[in-house]
Structures are given as structure tokens and as C-alpha cells.
């Protein structure tokens, strides 16, 4: 039987929003939402947090995650890639005699993650034979009609689309930036989160929000509060 591990990646040195991974989000450290969603998904043998920060580790444990070891200094700087962080976790578990066939990298600043979506993604990973399953969302405006500014003037990037109706343009998507469900073997060989055979889970824009600035944070809180009233 396949064993699955949830890895929540939460280093302490965020720059754009200081202490971002444990910053208060509507009354709780934001990492709490990712931990609780992973635990409630009931599809992981273990839910762990990879961090270099003792405060983050302690808060993570309070909400039910485990922190069996501290992340290395090499994978805690601004240039460390997420794939390298996940490989480090897998390698350390294997050194301790524990192996996982599937892993799910979950970001700590993704309060919109729902347990049922995680469960569906992990089930899809197993049933399709994919290397990776990730949530995507459609761009709200067709990027084929994007504009650029040069020398103070606005121009279309693709002027050939000037006369085309929006509904006639192909719909395109972007990564939600919430989680990546991966075959451990695929992660090891390809060393990237967006693997060669990646299957999407399409989400609604109302449950997706990048949080890179203080303004993003405020928007995320507003969207989250709206989502509560719609239940």
C-alpha cells in the first residue's frame, strides 16, 4: 500500500512580508490553515513541517503537525528551491528508515486549501499514473490581449488578436501556488515540482489568491471572509 507524506514548507526568513508564514490571518497564524487542511484530508500517513525556525516549529506542533528535524542552512536561504527542500525531507526520512511513495508539498500561506481538494488531488495522482497533480485557475482576462508599455506608449503584445472576441481565444491557466502532489520517484528523477506528466485540478478564482504583498494579504482576508458567508 502506498504511503503518503504531506510536507509544509515554512522557512523563517521571508523578506517581502516579515514572518509571513506565522503572521496573523483572521485570528490564527496563517500556517494553521494548511496544517489543519492536510490533517483533515485523511489521505496522509504523516503531516510534517520543514522549517529552519524554532518559533515556526513550535507553532506547527501546536496545530498538530510534526517537525521531526530542522531544515538545513543550505536549503533555508533565499535561493533554495522548493524541489531541493522536498528532496532533503525525503532523504532524511529514508535515512531514518521511512519511505513514502507519494508526497504533497503544501505552502504555508494558502488558507483557501480545502481538505477535500487535497484528497481528490492525491487520489488523482494514484489513479492517473501522473507524475504530479496541481491546482490551476483560469486567468480572468485573456492574456492574448495583454498590453505592454514602452516609451510612454501602450501597445498590444499580440496585435493580431486586436479584432478577436475574448470568447474565441483559448482559455489559459496559471498555477494556484497552493500545493503539488508528486510521485516521490518522479520528484527524485526530474527535480522539479511541475513534472513532465502533470494533471490539473481546476479551481475557481474565489478560492485562489497569491499573497506576496501586504495588499495581497488584505485581499486574501476579505475573500476568505466572503467564502465563510457563502457556506
pLDDT 10s digits, 208-226: 999 999 999 999 999 999 9
When pLDDT is averaged across residues 21-30 and rounded to a whole number, the result is 97
When pLDDT is averaged across residues 175-189 and rounded to a whole number, the result is 97
pTM of the prediction? Answer: 0.94
Task: Report how far residue 165's alpha carbon sits from residue 76's, in angstroms, rounded to the nearest whole number.
Answer: 47
What integer pLDDT is reported at residue 231 of this predicted model? 59
Task: Report how far residue 32's alpha carbon sits from residue 24's, in angstroms, rounded to the nearest whole number.
Answer: 10
Contact 51, 67 (CB under 8 A): yes
Contact 56, 49 (CB under 8 A): yes
- Look up residue 74 and give its three cell numbers: 543550505
22 confidence band (pLDDT: 50, 70, 90): very high
pLDDT 10s digits, 77-135: 888 899 999 999 999 999 999 999 999 999 999 999 999 999 999 999 999 999 999 99
Alpha helices (H) in 51-135, listed in sequence order? 54-62, 82-95, 115-128
4-136+174-229 folds as Spore Coat Polysaccharide Biosynthesis Protein SpsA; Chain A (3.90.550)
User: Residue 28: beta bridge partners?
Assistant: 25
**Domain locations in the chain as residue ranges:** 4-136+174-229
13 pLDDT higher than 90: no
Average pLDDT over the chain reads 95
pLDDT 10s digits, 132-180: 999 999 999 999 999 999 999 999 999 999 999 989 999 999 999 999 9
- How far apart, in Å, do the first and last CA atoms of the chain sit? 36
Contact 132, 180 (CB under 8 A): yes
pLDDT 10s digits, 36-87: 999 999 999 999 999 999 999 999 999 999 999 999 999 998 888 999 999 9
- In sequence order, what are the residues at sequence separation of 6 or more whose Cβ sits closer than 8 angstroms to the Cβ of residue 8? 31, 34, 35, 38, 47, 48, 49, 50, 60, 65, 106, 107, 108
Burial of 128 (0-12, 13-18, 19+ CB in 10 A): exposed
**Looking at 81-187, which runs of residues are DSSP E strands?**
102-106, 132-138, 147-150, 153-156, 173-175, 179-183
CA distances (Å), origin 133, targets 78, 104, 203, 207, 215: 26, 9, 13, 18, 29
Q: Specify the DSSP element, H or E, that contains 222.
A: helix 214-229
CA distances (Å), origin 103, targets 27, 28, 111, 182, 184: 29, 26, 20, 5, 6
Amino acid at each position: 500500500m502506498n504511503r503518503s507524506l504531506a510536507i509544509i514548507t515554512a522557512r523563517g526568513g521571508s523578506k517581502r512580508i516579515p514572518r509571513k508564514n506565522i503572521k496573523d490571518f483572521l485570528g490564527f497564524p496563517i500556517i494553521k490553515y494548511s496544517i489543519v487542511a492536510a490533517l483533515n484530508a485523511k489521505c496522509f500517513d504523516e503531516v510534517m513541517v520543514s522549517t529552519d525556525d524554532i518559533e515556526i516549529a513550535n507553532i506547527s506542533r501546536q496545530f498538530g503537525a510534526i517537525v521531526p528535524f530542522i531544515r538545513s542552512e543550505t536549503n533555508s536561504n533565499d535561493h533554495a528551491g522548493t524541489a531541493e527542500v522536498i528532496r532533503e525531507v525525503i532523504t532524511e526520512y529514508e535515512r531514518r528508515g521511512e519511505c513514502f511513495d507519494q508526497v504533497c508539498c503544501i505552502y504555508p500561506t494558502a488558507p483557501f486549501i480545502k481538505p477535500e481538494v487535497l484528497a481528490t488531488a492525491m487520489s488523482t495522482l494514484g489513479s492517473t499514473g501522473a507524475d504530479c497533480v496541481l491546482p490551476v485557475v483560469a486567468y480572468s482576462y485573456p492574456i492574448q490581449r495583454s498590453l505592454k508599455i514602452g516609451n510612454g506608449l501602450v501597445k498590444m503584445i499580440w496585435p493580431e488578436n486586436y479584432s478577436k472576441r475574448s470568447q474565441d481565444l483559448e482559455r489559459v491557466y496559471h498555477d494556484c501556488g497552493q500545493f503539488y502532489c508528486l510521485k516521490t520517484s518522479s520528484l527524485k528523477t526530474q527535480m522539479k515540482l511541475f513534472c513532465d506528466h502533470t494533471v490539473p485540478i481546476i479551481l475557481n478564482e474565489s478560492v485562489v489568491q497569491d499573497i506576496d504583498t501586504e495588499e495581497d494579504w488584505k485581499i486574501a482576508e476579505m475573500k476568505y471572509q466572503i467564502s465563510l458567508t457563502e457556506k
